[in-house]
Amino acid sequence: MKDKVVVITGGSSGIGKALAEKFGSEGSKIVITGRNEETLNKTVEALREQDIEVSGFRLDVSNEEDNREMAKMVLNKYGKIDTLINNAGITMRALFQEAELEVIRKVMDINFWGAIYATKHCLSSIVENKGSVVGISSIAGYRGLPGRTGYSASKFALQGFLEVLRTELLYSDVHVLTACPGFTTSNIRKSSLTKDGSVQGESPRDEAKMMSAEECAARIYNATKKRKKHLILTRQGKLTVLLNKFFPGFTDKLVYKVMAKEENSPLK
């Protein structure tokens, strides 16, 4: 991946930042995007202190024009885009019956439409360079999680889009990877939206027991380098996908039980 131009949406923290560190340490030229300019600038500075060539672009990923301008900036600066990692994402925690529809819409706009917009405006250069499109999905894109309506729906939609894209580009030598982390240490649960759109603030899960963002990023890097089509992470994640395929009724009860154990779970 040396000298490859890699765009990472949502690269200011969590898995996105870890991906920037991993790809950058291997010699890639990194462009990270983020909505919060202060956080974005701090991350750019931290990456440069690691001798990583990096640029930051303030971006509302749910805004198509922002994505168009981001792609133009990257092409003007580097002349190409080799890899796009659609990482920007947000989650929610509320029962569908109680959640305001605007909360679900916001999650879909960021997680699904954000990936659509970024891919649309970066794809021509990626095709020209026979590069990669990576989507950071989730186990929730294989198995719906109660209390995560918008999140699961957005990840199912993302995986459908990536599957179509991979098939359409089958004879173009473009690599499309669907990467599905299980529960991974990041700030996504702290910034999770509640039923009225307010921020949850604290994670309801034991973050210390999860796969680290750095390990997740290393595995995604290797899968990208090897041009794999699918990557399912964590033992729990792989088991959930397998059980849901062959024993969906049993998995309904199992998943309900696991999610109900979360602190202040909306499940009764």
Residue 191 maps to which CATH number? Answer: 3.40.50.720
- Is the residue at 266 inside a domain? no
Is the per-residue pLDDT at 206 higher than 70?
Answer: no
Name the band, by pLDDT with cuts 50, 70 and 90, for residue 209: confident
pLDDT band at 199 (very low <50, low <70, confident <90, very high): confident
Mean pLDDT across the chain, nearest whole number?
94
Quick check: is 78 catalytic? no
pLDDT band at 188 (very low <50, low <70, confident <90, very high): low
**In total, how many domains does the chain have?**
1
- Other CB atoms within 10 Å distance of the CB of residue 116: 18
Judged against a pLDDT cut of 70, whether residue 37 lies above it is answered with: yes
Could you give the maximum distance between any two Cα atoms of the chain, in Å?
A: 54
Residue 265 in domain:
no
- The pTM (predicted TM-score) of the whole model is 0.93
Per the structure, the complete domain to which residue 236 belongs is given by 5-260
Question: What average pLDDT does range 80-84 have in this prediction?
Answer: 98
Q: Which tokens is 29 given?
A: 């030229």
Alpha carbons 44 and 223: distance in angstroms, whole number: 25
| Structure-derived torsion over alpha carbons of residues 154, 192, 181, 42, reported in degrees to the nearest 10 | 110
- Residue at 124 is within a domain: yes
Is 36 within a domain?
yes
pLDDT digits (tens, 9 = 90+) for 155-169: 999 999 999 999 999
Is 86 within the bounds of a domain? Answer: yes
Could you report the per-residue pLDDT of 107-129, keeping only the tens digit for each?
999 999 999 999 999 999 999 99
78, 72, 63: which is closest to 5 by C-alpha? Answer: 78
Q: Which of 260, 213, 230, 252 shows the shortest CA–CA distance to 93?
A: 260
Band the pLDDT of 187: cuts 50, 70, 90: low
Residue 268 belongs to some domain of the structure: no
User: Crossing angle, helix 101-108 and helix 149-168, to 10 degrees?
Assistant: 30
Separation of CA 227 from chain center: 18
- Predicted local distance difference test score (pLDDT) of residue 268: 73
The catalytic residue among 78, 117, 142, 151 is 151
Helices assigned H by DSSP within the chain: 14-25, 37-49, 64-78, 101-108, 114-128, 149-168, 213-225, 235-246, 248-260
Residue 87 pLDDT > 70: yes
pLDDT higher than 60, residue 11: yes
Q: Is residue 98 part of a domain?
A: yes
Residue 21, domain member (yes or no): yes
Q: Give 83's strand partners.
A: 6, 132
| Pairing assessment for the beta strands 175-180 and 132-136 based on DSSP bridges | parallel
